[in-house]
Amino acid sequence: MTYTMLCSDLDGTLLGLKNRPTPYCCNTFKKYNKQIKMVLVSARMPSGMYYIQEALGIENEPIVCYNGALVLDRQKVISSTYITIELIEKVWAICENYGVAIGLYSHDEWFAPNPSERITKEEFNTQTKVAFEPTTVTISRWKKAEKGAHKLMLMGTKETADKAIKQLENTLGNVLGIYRSNDTLIEISPGSVDKFSGIKSLLDGLSSLKHIMAFGDNYNDMSMLQEAGLGIAVGNARKAVKEVADHVVAPFNEDGVAHFLEDFFNK
């Protein structure tokens, strides 16, 4: 089989140095980026992906952001899907009930009400910057601008996140994409999109799907691994992700994706 597009998740999959790829990974991508189109597919905002593109030598390729809610070809918007203000307010009410903090993302902006250790860690991990303002102010401004969120990030303790995600799934799971990125973080996307739909927006036809290889580690990667011609899980992936993958490679901190590419192009 000839593969024409590589689609890779970032955190926990490609970034061997936590917030950036290793030199080995960068050199490997640069070595083969003329042989296959390389597309980064992430829950991150655009600015958290651009610097990684540059490091890999693929800055002229499109990116799939926010789990498929925003797809960009450099500055051109290929597709954009919002969480409505009405749904944001429903999520926010649940957050308030359980003492869970909420971050709101739209295009290349990130807003949160207050500083926290979790936000500082997220800024470091994604190399992005948050703007602090009360959530009521953000929502009011977005209402006037008739815009919504591409992603919501909920930050709590394991206990509060456990309670919040249960209510979120029970009441809003049919209209929102809700998944646990770790014990204390819940990420929410529009229910009509996922990473697979974001990738499809870059294709001329569904027949091209068999020519895609995709790499991932978490629940939000499962759709693209299942639908791609070749779905590959890294060794640290969740059990459910490994079960739907065609192959399992070395963990992200051992450059599993890069080593796979070396083997694939030199067999």
pLDDT per residue as tens digits for the range 124-141: 999 999 999 999 999 999
Name the token pair of 17: 């140095």
Q: What is the pLDDT of residues 146-191, one digit of tens each?
A: 999 999 999 999 999 999 999 999 999 999 999 888 899 999 999 9
pLDDT band at 18 (very low <50, low <70, confident <90, very high): confident
Evaluate the CA torsion angle 184, 85, 222, 235 in order and state its sign.
negative
Q: What is the pLDDT of residues 256-266, one digit of tens each?
A: 999 999 999 99
CB atoms within 10 A of CB 166: 12
Q: What is the pLDDT of residues 181-220, one digit of tens each?
A: 889 999 999 999 999 999 999 987 655 789 999 999 999 9
DSSP state of 99: T
pLDDT recorded at residue 177: 94
pLDDT recorded at residue 209: 86
| High-pLDDT (> 70) share of the chain, % | 99
Measure the CA–CA gap between 8 and 183, rounded to whole angstroms.
Answer: 23
pLDDT recorded at residue 171: 97
**109-112 and 131-132: which strand pairing?**
parallel
pLDDT recorded at residue 75: 84
Secondary structure class of 141 (helix, strand, coil)? helix
pLDDT recorded at residue 267: 79
DSSP state of 149: B
pLDDT band at 123 (very low <50, low <70, confident <90, very high): very high
Structural domains in the chain plus CATH codes: 5-80+194-265 (3.40.50.1000), 85-190 (3.30.1240.10)
Measure the CA–CA gap between 97 and 16, rounded to whole angstroms.
Answer: 37
Q: Across the chain, what does the average pLDDT equal?
A: 95
DSSP state of 187: E
Measure the CA–CA gap between 52 and 69, rounded to whole angstroms.
Answer: 19
pLDDT recorded at residue 176: 97
